[in-house]
Amino acid sequence: VSNNTNSIVVVPGANAKLSCDVLNKYKSELLKCKIICSQLEISTDTVLHLSRLCKENGIIFVFNPSPVVKYNKEIFNNANYVIVNETEIQQIEGYNSKNPDEILKTYANKLILTKGSDGVYFNNGEKLVHVPALKVITVDTTGAGDTFMGAFAVGLSNGRSTEQSIIFANICAGLKVTKLGAQTGMPTINEVKTYITKI
């Protein structure tokens, strides 16, 4: 945590070794999945390969282009859902800072914009939808995006709609920022259920 926000250093480690060959080796396991999420903390070639695997086999692919690096647009096209923050959305072709909501309309029911304390925005094909952020005391925002994406996938896997899954993910991310630690601060399902029963 630095200057009331987060400062993140990526040390790839084993992630740098996650090649297309590794995916191919475990392809049979991947094909058992209903949903697969990916960021760009692994090779963009590997993510492209993964996106193709998902598309070819009807697996829902949730993509978060983070950290911001150049990537093949096919990854974006192959994704069922793309989750971005205010920085990441700017690299999407067609983004216009003078009319930032237009890109959400262009990619309705696909592009999801997280804006921290301003909540989440997406277009449901008919209108722009805003899901307000939780009113909490923020301790550490590190890992909030990871929490959101993971919780969004959990929502979808449990049969929730896109909007319901976003609301669920928004609650999870909101609870995460109240605790220190990118992983240790992530809420358990029981913590989420307890919060929901109180609202």
For the chain, the average pLDDT equals: 95
- The single residue of 45, 118, 140, 146 carrying the catalytic annotation is 146
Q: Is 163 exposed, middle or buried (0-12, 13-18, 19+ CB in 10 A)?
A: middle
The distance in angstroms from the start CA to the end CA of the chain is: 29
Residue 140 falls in the annotated catalytic set: no
Phi, psi of 13 (to 5 degrees): 55, -130
Report the pLDDT value the prediction gives residue 187, as an integer from 0 to 100.
96
pLDDT, tens only, 140-170: 999 999 999 999 999 999 999 999 999 999 9
pLDDT, tens only, 37-48: 999 999 999 999
Report the pLDDT value the prediction gives residue 161, as an integer from 0 to 100.
97
Structure tokens at 59: 């697996």
Helices 162-176 and 189-198, packing angle to 10 deg: 100
Look at residues 119, 125, 112, 122 and name the one whose alpha carbon lies nearest to residue 153: 112
The pTM assigned to this predicted structure is 0.93
Report the pLDDT value the prediction gives residue 199, as an integer from 0 to 100.
79
Compute the average pLDDT of residues 46-51: 98
Q: How confident is the model at residue 70 (pLDDT cuts 50, 70, 90)?
A: very high
Does position 8 have pLDDT exceeding 90, yes or no? no
Peptide bond into 67 cis (omega under 30): yes
Does position 91 have pLDDT exceeding 90, yes or no? yes
How far apart, in whole angstroms, are the C-alpha atoms of residue 144 and residue 170? Answer: 9
- Pairwise pLDDT comparison (9 vs 78), residue with the higher score: 78
Does position 3 have pLDDT exceeding 80, yes or no? no
Report the pLDDT value the prediction gives residue 12, as an integer from 0 to 100.
85
pLDDT, tens only, 165-194: 999 999 999 999 999 999 999 999 999 999
Sign of the CA dihedral running 104, 147, 17, 1: positive
Report the pLDDT value the prediction gives residue 25, as an integer from 0 to 100.
98
Report the pLDDT value the prediction gives residue 108, as an integer from 0 to 100.
97
Report the pLDDT value the prediction gives residue 10, as an integer from 0 to 100.
77
